[in-house]
Amino acid sequence: VVRDRLVGKGARIFKNYRSALDARSYVTKALLSRVDAGKTLVVGDWSSAMLVKLKSNFKDFTIFPLGAVKKALEDAYRPTSDHTRSQLNAATDLRYLKHSLDTYNEIAWNLLNGYFMRVSDVKDAFPTLPLVPWLWPFFMCRFFLTDGSDKSSLLMHLFADFGAAGFPGVFYVFFVKVVVNMARSELVLTLPMPIYVDDMGLIGKIQSEVDAMMRSFQLWAMAVVGIA
């Protein structure tokens, strides 16, 4: 994010979308899980006094709108952060983060030869990425943290979320270019492993070898870089 593109806009506060309110229990649960993991900070109850304090501490800040979308193949919803409407995405320079994915062709080439593929995905992929502190005031939202309450709380993300334009590229550099190549340098990974964002498919001719190598990679990733 280019800092100068966010400066001078003052306080920008958005209301949450109806979809977030309709899926309130799911959004609350997801936000609390971030709080419990230290990814999000509960600033306090939202009030006019809180707004005064924010304006006295931050010349520029954003409270972005929350939405919710249904999870594929699940009877559940995940919260969404609309950083497009808050204009954070417009302030993001993607020149060094753009990349192409050829995962489907990479998988097809191997599987057409009768190989096995073991699939795994990174738990909470983007929230593994910490935000630089000056970005924290632009990653605030408001929502209910208890069922049945009519009083919302102000939250500040300290780690990335799903909705900001730069995170897919940053995660690609961090995970694909750095973490996976670290594992290859240590010979934890020796088989092909096409990756699509945070989903990886380890491919090999012998099923037991594929299973064992994926498990070794999972254990290594947790022990060395704290990624589940």
User: What 8-state DSSP symbol labels residue 116?
Assistant: E
User: What 8-state DSSP symbol labels residue 17?
Assistant: P
What Rg value do the Cα atoms of the chain yield, rounded?
Answer: 20
Strand, coil or helix: what is 150?
coil
User: What 8-state DSSP symbol labels residue 130?
Assistant: B
Q: What is the C-alpha separation between 26 and 21, in angstroms, rounded?
A: 10
**pLDDT score at 148:** 84
Q: What is the C-alpha separation between 94 and 98, in angstroms, rounded?
A: 6
Helix or strand run (H / E) with residue 61: strand 61-63
**pLDDT score at 101:** 80
Q: What is the C-alpha separation between 43 and 49, in angstroms, rounded?
A: 13
One-letter amino acid of 105:
N
**pLDDT score at 149:** 87
Give the position of tokens 């001719």. Answer: 205
**pLDDT score at 127:** 93
Angle (CA) 163 180 38, round 5°: 45
Q: Which residues contact 190 (CB under 8 A, 6 or more apart)?
A: 184, 213
Strand, coil or helix: what is 227?
coil
Q: What is the C-alpha separation between 213 and 191, in angstroms, rounded?
A: 8
Strand, coil or helix: what is 118?
strand
Per-residue confidence of the chain (228 residues) as pLDDT tens digits? 888 888 888 999 999 999 999 999 999 999 999 999 999 999 999 999 999 999 999 999 999 999 999 988 788 899 999 999 999 999 998 888 888 888 888 888 878 778 999 999 999 899 999 999 999 999 999 999 998 888 999 999 999 998 999 999 999 999 999 999 999 999 999 999 999 989 999 999 999 999 999 999 999 999 999 999
Q: What is the C-alpha separation between 164 and 80, in angstroms, rounded?
A: 10
**CA 130, 102, 191, 204 torsion-angle sign:** positive
